[in-house]
Homo-oligomer: A and B are copies of this chain.
Amino acid sequence: MMDEFDFIRSIQPKYYRQSSVIKGIGDDAAIIRSLNQDIITTVDTMVESIHFTTQTMEPFHVGYRALAANISDIVAMGGKPTSFLVSIVVPKNWEKEQLREIYQGIDQLAQKFQMDVIGGDTVTGQQLTISITVFGSVNKHQVRYRSHAQAGDVVFVTGTIGDAACGLDLLLHEDQDTQQNYEYFINRHRMPLPRVNFIQATGNIKRMALNDISDGISNEANEIAEASHVALRINEKAIPYHIGITDFPKEKQQQWLLSGGEDFELLGTVSPNEWEKLVSIAEKTNTKITKIGEVFHHDRYNGSVLINNGSSSVILDKSGYTHLRGDNNE
């Protein structure tokens, strides 16, 4: 395996795309400057055989997806992704070439969004582990906390939901590669595209609550309900899906729609007065956007999510289970 020094050197760019990068790779630490904007940061770690296997991802996808997950968190705060640090634990038997493929996956997304790698480290270990710390910038008035939902808001999602979960299912059951939409679904698992362009265009929307859908609609909607002390009502039939999903058993469909994460689509709430404006921004940025419910106040249900399947309305918990409105021992 190549040593740490060589690898960090090998990925050191000749110039930085972002003017906020004052010092990148090459000293004890990196330096970033942000005079009028706040800096958003988060870390996300992927471990082989836990978050991916050689069956589900090539090294390229591991790198790509690790950065995509991080970018998605920046987007969910209303921010613009700018730079990142990469820490990789590499098994001893790995080849230089595999490490390079991981980095190529990272770099494909980094180029797309004009992001800079500003540091990192590479150490030896038993299990491939990739940990990315991402940075983004945001105007302080445009931060999108999950606590920003208000009664009356429209609840919306971007894109179609459950595609990545379907793709993972296809990858895990090898006999399914003749499935008509195989390539589409596995790409949604391996190479999800965070909604950077859409969110960058929403600067003049006054207020939104936003979560990226990393753990499924059920989880994200509950987090917004809890943080905002409101209740969300979701119309199950309104959740947008790719038509290919209907080839699968009903049970799987429902699970993917309610608990399937990692599409890195967004779930948000916005004032009904700004809904049309948001729809038009979505159109301009080629973003599918769908109203799936609304926010309301209710002493008993604040902090909870109700889901209506057309005939009855039940409580939807974080893990995607539903239960009757009377049985939760309030």
What is A's interface to B at a CB cutoff of 8 Å? 22-23, 26-35, 38-47, 50-51, 73-74, 76-77, 79, 85-87, 89, 118-121, 123-127, 129, 131, 133-136, 138, 140, 143, 145-147, 210-212, 227
Contacts and interface: CB of A to CB of B under 8 A. Distances in A.
Nearest to A318: B5
A125 B124 contact: no
B33 A39 contact: yes
Contacts of A212: 28
Contacts of A131: 43, 45, 87, 131
Contacts of A123: 45-47, 50-51
Given A29-B136, A45-B87, A89-B127, 7 more contacts: A28-B211, A29-B41, A30-B42, A41-B118, A43-B86, A47-B124, A125-B127
Nearest to A124: B50
11 contacts: A23-B145, A28-B42, A28-B212, A33-B140, A34-B39, A43-B87, A43-B131, A50-B123, A89-B127, A131-B131, A133-B133
Contact of A31 (B27, B28, B46, B138): B138
Count identical subunits in the complex: 2
A73 B28 contact: yes
B121 A31 contact: no
A33 B32 CA distance: 12
A281 to B, nearest CB: 20
B43 A145 contact: no
Contacts of A42: 28-30, 85, 119
Contact of A145 (B27, B87, B119): B27
Given A23-B145, A32-B39, A45 B121 contact: yes
A43 B85 contact: yes
Contacts of A127: 89, 125-127
Given A131-B87, A133-B85, A39 B31 contact: yes
A202 to B, nearest CB: 15
Given A77-B27, A133-B133, A41 B32 contact: yes
A43 B138 contact: no
Contacts of A34: 34, 39
Task: Give the 3 A-B residue pairs with the shortest CB-CB distance, closest first.
Answer: A29-B42, A28-B76, A133-B133
By CB atoms of chain B within 10 A, which of A29, A79, A87, A125 has the most? A29
A33 B121 CA distance: 26
A144 to B, nearest CB: 9
A149 B318 CA distance: 56
B125 A129 contact: yes
A201 B258 CA distance: 55
Contacts of A135: 41
